[in-house]
């Protein structure tokens, strides 16, 4: 009787992981929504950019249109990156809690960024995209920034230096992880490493 209750409880506990489907579908819908909004912004942006070649436009008005267009392009890039985060998060949750996506693992055309093996993979991929969003956001703010004092220029330079450092560290960590995985694969291919006596 106790074994039956234990199996019943463990089965219900294991099947409770399917509640993550709400997060998977919700994240996917949120990603599609942001993709749609960013694409609509691109259409409107293109329509406004068509007036850039208008000969009756003054140089000042053309400069304003140029600056606003660049700023809107950065916003579009930011939107697409955020949508990508939601897509990766949705697929990662599904692979971690529900089942592997056979099409992603079996197709050569599938992107490796969508193949999630563990929670660390999901965090790593999300962190990279979020870092890019922060960089794009800083670039957008820098475009609209008014340098009123030399200290403002120092702050801008410091923020750029910190971004360069973050990119360097993430790149170094990724290559270090790749080397560790390659060494592990070589050991598994050659068999167990030899043990040397002292």
DSSP 172-186: HHHHHHHHHHHHHHH
pLDDT at 198: 43
Query: Given CA atoms 135, 141, 144, 148 in this order, what sign does their dihedral have?
Result: negative
For helices 150-190 and 119-143, the axis angle rounded to 10 degrees is: 160
- What does the angle CA 150 – CA 156 – CA 162 come to, to the nearest 5 degrees? 135
Would you give per-residue pLDDT tens digits along the chain (198 residues)? Answer: 778 888 888 888 888 888 989 999 999 999 999 999 999 999 988 888 887 777 777 888 888 888 788 888 888 888 898 898 888 888 888 888 888 777 776 666 566 666 677 777 777 778 878 888 888 888 777 777 777 888 878 888 888 888 888 878 877 776 665 555 555 545 544 554 444 444
Please name the residue that has the structure tokens 């089965």.
11
Can you give the pLDDT at residue 98? Answer: 84
Q: In whole angstroms, what is the distance from residue 191 CA to residue 163 CA?
A: 42
Residues 6+ apart with CB under 8 A from 194: none
The predicted pLDDT at position 177 comes to 55
pTM (2 d.p.): 0.69
Tokens of 20: 């993550």
Q: What is the pLDDT of residue 130?
A: 82
User: In this predicted structure, what is the pLDDT of residue 109?
Assistant: 58
Residue 194 confidence (pLDDT): 46
């Amino acid at each position: 009787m106790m074994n039956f209750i234990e199996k019943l409880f463990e089965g219900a506990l294991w099947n409770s992981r399917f509640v993550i489907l709400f997060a998977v579908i919700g994240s996917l819908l949120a990603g599609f929504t942001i993709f749609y909004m960013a694409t609509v912004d691109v259409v409107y942006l293109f329509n406004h950019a068509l007036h850039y070649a208008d000969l009756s436009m003054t140089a000042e008005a053309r400069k304003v249109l140029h600056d606003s267009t660049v700023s809107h392009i950065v916003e579009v890039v930011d939107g697409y990156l955020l949508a990508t985060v939601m897509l990766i998060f949705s697929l990662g949750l599904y692979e971690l809690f529900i089942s592997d996506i056979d099409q992603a693992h079996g197709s050569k055309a599938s992107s490796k960024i969508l193949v999630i093996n563990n929670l660390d993979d999901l965090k790593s991929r999300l962190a990279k995209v979020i870092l890019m969003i922060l960089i794009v956001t800083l670039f957008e703010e820098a475009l609209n920034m008014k340098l009123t004092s030399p200290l403002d220029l120092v702050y801008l330079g410091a923020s750029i230096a910190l971004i360069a450092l973050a990119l360097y560290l993430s790149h170094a960590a990724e290559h270090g992880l790749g080397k560790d995985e390659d060494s592990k694969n070589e050991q598994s291919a050659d068999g167990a490493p030899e043990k040397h006596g002292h």
